[in-house]
Structure 1
Amino acid sequence: MVSEIRGWTFLTNHARALLAIAQDPTASLRQVAASCRITERTAQAIVADLEAAGYLHRRRVGRCNQYTLHLDRPCRHPADAGLPVRALLELFTDRPAGTAPPAG
């Protein structure tokens, strides 16, 4: 039996964008959008939301942005408020959150 997709996912676009930035803190909005399969405009709004909520800081480096994540901030849902966002990122990446990807 083939299951039917009903329009919901386990991760929000905000979580996906945070994961994309955690994997590459120098990613362009175009790259974040492509990784999340959303529009650049949506990616821009999500990054602004994440910055306003204190989950990341955006700094201009030349013509590009560089992001610093604040991984000890709590998850936003009341049921998850005791968990830092670091736990979510570590769950979905292959390395501890906040560490550089392997060289190569």
Structure 2
Amino acid sequence: MSEQAGQWHFLTNHARVLFAIARDPATRLRDIAAACRITERTAQSIVTDLEHAGYMRRERVGRRTRYTLCLDGTLRHPAEAHVPVQELLDVFTSHDNPH
């Protein structure tokens, strides 16, 4: 049995990937995976999920990918559907960019 089996966490991997991209929109997929402690394949799948859900867009710039977050949407779960994505990002990324 894995060390994490039976454990739960407050944040999902989707939220962690969104935070990683918010911190550095030019980050590489392998760096997203490392920061979130997930595999590159999982990170790729989550980026695709986020893009299909309208939370971000990807653009190729040379050999790199640049991510643009779409922050005017709200969270997906009905209990938090009134919470803008921007508010969630502000809570978890504000220490990275002090005002």
TM-score (norm 2): 0.89
**Structure 1 residue identity aligned to 2:22:** A
2:59 and 2:95 map into 1 onto residues whose CA distance is 24
1:1-104 equivalent positions in 2, closer than 5 A: 6-94=6-94, 101=97
**Structure 2 residue identity aligned to 1:31:** D
**Structure 1 residue identity aligned to 2:59:** R
User: Tell me, which stretches of 5 or more residues in structure 2 are unaligned?
Assistant: none
Cα displacement (A) at 1:21: 0.1
Q: Which runs of 4+ in 1 moved over 6 A?
A: none
Per-residue deviation, residues 31-78 of structure 1 (Å, max 9, x unmatched): 000000000000000000000000000000001100000111110100
Secondary structure of the residue that 1:21 maps to in structure 2? helix
**Structure 2 residue identity aligned to 1:27:** T
1:39 and 1:90 map into 2 onto residues whose CA distance is 26
Percent identity at matched positions?
61
**Structure 2 residue identity aligned to 1:87:** E
Secondary structure of the residue that 1:44 maps to in structure 2? helix
1:25 and 1:72 map into 2 onto residues whose CA distance is 17
Secondary structure of the residue that 1:32 maps to in structure 2? helix
Secondary structure of the residue that 2:82 maps to in structure 1? coil
Per-residue deviation, residues 15-39 of structure 1 (Å, max 9, x unmatched): 0000000000000100000000000
1:84 and 1:72 map into 2 onto residues whose CA distance is 7
How many matched pairs? 94
RMSD of Structure 2 on Structure 1 (CA): 1.7
TM-score (norm 1): 0.85
Cα displacement (A) at 1:6: 3.7
